[in-house]
Structure 1
Amino acid sequence: MALNFHQLHIFYTVAEKGSFSAAAAALHMTQPAVTMQVQSLEEYFGTKLFHRSTKRIELSEAGRELIPYALNSINLMKDTEVAMSKFTHMLQGRLQLGASLTFGEYILPRLLGPFGKEYPNISIQMKVINTTQILEEILKHQLNFGLVEAAVQHPDIHIEPVLNDELKLIVPAGHPLTEQGIIKAEQMLEYPFVLREQGSGTRQVMHEALQQAGIDAGAMKIVMELGSTGAVKSAVEAGLGITILSQSSVKHELALGILRVVEIEDVQFMRKFYSIYLKSTLLPISAVTFLTFLRERDLSQWL
């Protein structure tokens, strides 16, 4: 029997999860299959890698010694796939991902076009849902990875920034603020606001930026809270209030002159979009290829 990467990956996942059953769930395998692969690895090395009892497993001295080598092999495999993804233009397969609302509705479609031209044989299946739902589906192995607008904190999740974004003060055409040039943040507080709902990534970024600038977000005159960016835009167009949104989400309306951006002198609403996926998962090559595309291309040419 030859030593193989698959067995090292299984061994490392068992050690990381602390049980064969948890590793089996993470790897989409049956528990007996996981046990058999670990036993095969133990037979290859001629030593026990785990001490097993009815309630728990613990790494043996040999198992502890193997851990860094197994981790190195996993990282090497990931780096290899990233390096080779640049050359896989005839790659076939399905790219399955989840995207949070702003990213999925307004940014990702502009990136999938050029990606599809470069990799025409990859079909794309995308769910546009909120960040919490994406995280849940990744943890349940229903999605390979996600692109979200808030930094997710979870011990099993790898998170990596992929794109910068800036929110802007958006007003309807003809609004008094458009006549003042660059304004101070306090000036916008004199007008009614239409905002995304509490808990949205957009709302969170806005609150954090105002807080850092020493401005009380509670002083905002919020007349309406809506559950989608499209609904917010429609309300602002109708003159119901002003808002703070990603400039990428109002590109069309700005070009038509329906909405206007008002620059604020003393506060910036900056954020990042992140890719998230399970640490224990080796992503399919289609996903690795797409993430490499996001990392290495000048995305501003399409946004």
Structure 2
Amino acid sequence: MNLDYLKTYSMVVELGSFSEAARRLSLSQPAVSFQIQRLESELGVRLLDRKEKAVSMTEVGKRLFRFTGVIKQEETKFMNDLDQIRNEVVGDLAIVASTIPSEFIVPPLLGEFKHLYPSTRPSVTMFDSYTAIARVQEGAYEVGFCGIIPEGLELESFKIAEDEIVLVVFLEHPFARRENISLKELEKEPLIFRNRTSGTQGSLEAMLLDKGYDLRRCSPTLVLGSTQAIVSAVEAGIGIAFVSNLAIKKSLALGMVKVVPVDELNLKRSFYCIYRKERLISRLLQEFIAFCQARASSGK
């Protein structure tokens, strides 16, 4: 049913006059009559009994009038809710993040944001970087965090944090006693990889390729789906791996792994906050993006 026609019907009933309804709605009287006729035709019933100077509702017309009252109430409630969403920092915030941001970058941000705005309800879902970008692009999530700048998409992005990919080995590995190693020495080592859709793996391969080393030529001893799984595998002595420096702080503090510098290799990379600019309709999303930008600028 056409909502405008329902509003016209409600106005005719309330005022008891087609001409008064037309004047109140800034329509011509024939336009009001046309809308009522279309509504009756669509429903297949007569809604109003028209007399010379009065209009009365049929039984079905009375039910429809009650229905229009419900619609008015719901419309008012919705508009009030919309005003609240636009003007207050409240409600749900759907966030998608790749592995490293979801485990080490986003939680501290949300802790501080929740302290500022306790009525917010953020939720974080973890995917690889490429999937996170796709989910924000298609509108399934309002904001995302990943290790790749989205290219050729209608997404806004800004750098939120920096990281370094480092080589970690288990304590019994010969490299653990070395001050540094060469890139060539890695060729025969049991390397553990992340899956190819991982932003960390993609960044690692691209940065090594810039140094003339094609990591894709290596045959990994193991391919795992998360950074934490890789760190655990290294701790267990299964192999060695390039991982995020953020992900090994605990293992380093406990003395379970060692970082080994690789000659002429500096694998710094950035993480980004991404969002669709046209989705900045809610005050909550606006404030969260502004909050993240402020934290990024301050280096916190």
TM-score range relative to shorter protein:
0.5 to 0.7
How far did 1:121 drift?
A: 2.9
Q: Is the 8 A contact 2:192 2:220 kept in 1?
A: yes
1:151 equivalenced with 2:149 (yes/no)? yes
How do 1:117-266 residues align onto structure 2 when only pairs under 5 Å count?
A: 117-266=115-264
Query: Given the superposition, is the C-alpha separation of residues 161 and 231 from structure 1 closer, same or farther in structure 2, using an over 3 Å criterion?
Result: same
Fraction of identical pairs, as percent: 28
Give the AA of the match of 2:226.
Answer: S
Query: Given the superposition, is the C-alpha separation of residues 280 and 288 from structure 1 closer, same or farther in structure 2, using an over 3 Å criterion?
Result: closer
**What SS is found at the alignment partner of 1:161?**
strand
How far did 1:266 drift?
A: 0.8
Unaligned stretches of 5+ residues in structure 2: 5-86
State the distance in 2 between where 1:215 and 1:133 align.
27
State the distance in 1 between where 2:134 and 2:188 align.
40
Cross-structure match for 1:69: none
**What SS is found at the alignment partner of 1:146?**
strand
How far did 1:261 drift?
A: 1.2
How far did 1:301 drift?
A: 8.3
Give the AA of the match of 2:279.
Answer: T
Q: What stretches of structure 1 move > 4 A for 4+ residues in a row?
A: 298-302
How far did 1:283 drift?
A: 4.8
**What SS is found at the alignment partner of 1:192?**
coil
Post-superposition CA distance 1:154-188 (Å, at most 9, x none): 33222222222211111112322121113222233
Query: Given the superposition, is the C-alpha separation of residues 139 and 298 from structure 1 closer, same or farther in structure 2, using an over 3 Å criterion?
Result: closer
Equivalent in 104, 115, 134 of residue 106 of structure 1: 104
State the distance in 1 between where 2:218 and 2:128 align.
25
Post-superposition CA distance 1:206-236 (Å, at most 9, x none): 1111111122324534111111112212211
Post-superposition CA distance 1:48-99 (Å, at most 9, x none): xxxxxxxxxxxxxxxxxxxxxxxxxxxxxxxxxxxxxxxx9x9433332111
Q: Is the 8 A contact 1:144 1:283 kept in 2?
A: no
- Please give the TM-score of this superposition, normalised by the length of structure 1: 0.63
**What SS is found at the alignment partner of 1:104?**
helix
Cross-structure match for 2:276: 278
**What SS is found at the alignment partner of 1:297?**
helix
**What SS is found at the alignment partner of 2:208?**
helix
State the distance in 2 between where 1:172 and 1:285 align.
48
Q: Is the 8 A contact 1:205 1:271 kept in 2?
A: yes
When Rg is computed on C-alpha atoms for both structures, the one with the higher figure is: 2
CA RMSD of aligned residues (A): 2.6
State the distance in 2 between where 1:293 and 1:263 align.
35
How do 1:25-174 residues align onto structure 2 when only pairs under 5 Å count?
A: 91-174=89-172
> How many aligned positions are there?
215
State the distance in 1 between where 2:122 and 2:104 align.
16
Unaligned stretches of 5+ residues in structure 1: 1-31, 33-87
Give the AA of the match of 1:297.
Answer: R
- Please give the TM-score of this superposition, normalised by the length of structure 2: 0.64
Equivalent in 289, 292, 299 of residue 291 of structure 1: 289
